[in-house]
Chains A and B, each alone.
Chain A
Amino acid sequence: MNTLRNANMPNPLLPISIRDLRLTRSDRPVLGGVNLKIDDPGITVIMGPNGAGKTLLLRCLHGLITPDQGFIKLGSLAVADSRDEQAMVFQHPVLLRRTVLQNLAFAAPEIAKTAPERLIQALESVNLANRADQPARMLSGGEQQRLSLARALLSEPALLLLDEATANLDPASVLLIESLVKAQSLQGTKVILVSHDQSQARRLADEIVFMSNGKVAEQSPADQFFTTPQTPAAKAYLAGEILF
């Protein structure tokens, strides 16, 4: 289990360097040579149309997919060596067929043994303390995602990856998750978030990575991206035009 993170600690997984990342699925290149360098802490939001390769890139970063070509370096570590320092929240949370509290205890057995009060605190942080003894899969979609985030944050990850984690959630759940992600980022966790939601990206992002056709089309500070996008693809995307 990692130690409690704070903003003054250097993040061991920065900078993140991705070079010439290529991936082919069914004879179709889905990542066509991704080059990206993320130096700064804070929140990076990956945006782009459907099929641009955002989720695949995130899964490559987490080690869920091995690319056909190219390399990823997180700080001085390869993906496989950085696993303990990472956590990921998926679009569709998968919770164990156990109670809410048991889900957290399973994810962090050491904490459950030595400091079980931290599990309750984690539940309080996502407004689920009063549901601790209920079957986790009976929670609503928003509650399940909040529990999934609490589970991911228990490990105090250096890198938190969120794959459209707030898609289809009610506004209250979205705001709660956003506030937790923001707070975690301020504690020194690097957050990379895939989102289609422009208003969410405006609220959260320090930096935007815009992807199109399996490549990074643009990488810029969030303010700059929304006011003066540099590429025609990004301009069209922000204007709501459908891209293929």
Chain B
Amino acid sequence: MDALSEAFRLIITLDADLFEILLLSIRVSLIALAISAIIGLPLGSWLAISKFPGRKFCILLLNALMGMPPVVVGLIVYLLLSRSGPLGWLGLLYTPSAMIIAQAVLITPIIAALSNQVIENLHQEYRDTFYSMGITGRRAVVAYLVDARYALTTCILAGFGRAIAEVGAVIIVGGNIDHLTRVMTTAIALETSKGNLTLALGLGAVLLSLSLLVNALVIGVREYAAKRQYA
């Protein structure tokens, strides 16, 4: 109980260590999310409306990659970025950039697969009308992305939720270095193992609040869209 009240004191007094970790976590996850959205949304849309041999296999692969274990992603990114790896010359291992790459690899399939499902449903509805209006290719993809904006926002928020809560991959490629690559999840793991439950609980409470906030946003977006018949 003492640990819990101390944890809330850290939050209320804006403890410097806690907020350094919090801000780095959010920065890493948001940048990874932006990269994943830029790649995943058009990829998911394109797969939904295009026809080519192997399309179904690509969708199957995306869906399979959604469940990829984070430690495996961490290991692959580690091998790529390690000194002897093909991208070792970039010198990114144990930096926030490596963590961003790992999170982006992890959540891009999630955003692509979820958006693929959303756009495929919309495509079923719009296909004849778009054909009739002569809307094809890039113009169709942009139109689908615009019209599915609320459903896609929930996909993006789901990706953020996954990224911010991720621990396995970022601990491998980031190394959990104090003041450099320590994020909320890795800090919680470390502080718990050290028996420092105060900071671990404080970070846990913030992480839980962020998760609640993301879910509240998802519900809010859905309700707004439904009210405006934009769902």
Contacts and interface: CB of A to CB of B under 8 A. Distances in A.
Contact of B147 (A84, A87, A97): A97
A94 B229 contact: no
A45 B52 CA distance: 39
Interface in B120-161: 125-126, 128-129, 131-134, 143, 146-148
A84 B228 CA distance: 32
A135 B231 CA distance: 12
Nearest to B148: A97
B230 A97 contact: yes
A19 interface: no
B128 A107 contact: no
Contact of A96 (B128, B131, B134, B143): B143
B229 A107 contact: no
A118 interface: no
Given A98-B147, A138-B229, A107 B133 contact: yes
Contact of B132 (A87, A96, A137): A87
A64 B128 contact: yes
Contacts of B230: 97, 135, 137
B54 to A, nearest CB: 23
A112 B77 CA distance: 48
A106 B134 contact: no
A21 B199 CA distance: 76
A11 to B, nearest CB: 19
Interface in A66-90: 83-84, 86-88, 90
Contacts of A63: 131
B229 A137 contact: yes
Interface residues of A, number: 19
Interface in A110-162: 135, 137-138, 151
B143 A62 contact: no
A138 B134 contact: no
A118 B131 CA distance: 23
B147 A94 contact: no
A63 B229 CA distance: 30
A206 to B, nearest CB: 24
A128 to B, nearest CB: 16
A94 B128 contact: yes
Contact of A83 (B125, B134, B146, B229): B134
A84 B134 contact: yes
B42 to A, nearest CB: 19
Residue among B125, B128, B148 facing the most chain A CB atoms (10 A cut-off):
B128
Contact of A64 (B125, B132, B147, B229): B132
A128 B128 CA distance: 24
B50 to A, nearest CB: 18
A96 B133 contact: no
Contacts of A151: 133
Interface in B76-106: none
A98 B230 CA distance: 7
B147 A135 contact: no
Given A83-B134, A106-B143, A94 B125 contact: yes
Contacts of A83: 134
B147 A96 contact: yes
A96 B228 CA distance: 12
Contacts of A88: 132
A162 to B, nearest CB: 12
Closest 7 interchain pairs by CB?
A137-B229, A94-B129, A97-B230, A97-B147, A88-B132, A135-B228, A138-B229
Given A90-B132, A107-B133, 17 more contacts: A63-B131, A64-B128, A64-B132, A87-B132, A88-B132, A90-B128, A90-B129, A94-B126, A94-B128, A94-B129, A96-B126, A97-B148, A97-B230, A98-B147, A137-B229, A137-B230, A138-B229
28 contacts: A62-B132, A64-B128, A64-B131, A64-B132, A86-B132, A87-B132, A88-B132, A90-B128, A90-B129, A90-B132, A94-B125, A94-B126, A94-B128, A96-B126, A96-B143, A97-B147, A97-B229, A97-B230, A98-B146, A98-B147, A106-B143, A135-B228, A135-B229, A135-B230, A137-B229, A138-B228, A138-B229, A151-B133
